[in-house]
Copies of this chain bind each other. A is one copy, B any other.
C-alpha cells in the first residue's frame, strides 16, 4: 500500500507518516520508482505509534521500545514501565503547576469582583 492510502486508513497525515519514518518508527520498503510500500501490518503499527504519542511520549522514547511491543506484550518490554512512571511524575508536576496558576487566577478574579461590586456576586 502507498503512503496516501495508509494516511487515509489511519487518519494520520502523509507528512506525519514520513516524519515517523525519519524518527525510525516506520520502515516501509521502497518500490523501484522510489515510492514507499507499506505492508498491511503498518496500519496497526501506526495506531500503536499514535497511542504512545497520545500518552505524551516522544518519538524518540517510542523508538526505544516500539520494536519490542510490536512483537511481545507490553509487560515483557522492560523499558516501558519506568518510562510510564517517569511520564506520570512529569504529568503530575504539570498538573501541580497548572493548579497553582488556576488558584491564583481565581483569587485575582474574586478580588476584582469584590473590589468592583462588593457583595454582588454573593447572590444565589
Contact = CB atoms under 8 A, between A and B. Distances in A.
A115 interface: yes
How often does this chain occur in the complex, in copies? 2
Interface string A43-85: 0000000000011100000000000000001111000110011
B75 A115 contact: yes
A98 interface: yes
A112 B54 contact: no
Dominant secondary structure at the A interface: helix
Contacts of A116: 75-76
A95 interface: yes
Contacts of A101: 54-56, 91
Given A87-B105, A91-B98, A98-B98, A112 B55 contact: no
A30 interface: no
A99 B75 CA distance: 23
Contacts of A21: none
14 contacts: A73-B115, A75-B115, A76-B116, A81-B109, A84-B105, A84-B108, A84-B109, A85-B109, A88-B105, A88-B106, A91-B101, A95-B98, A95-B99, A95-B102
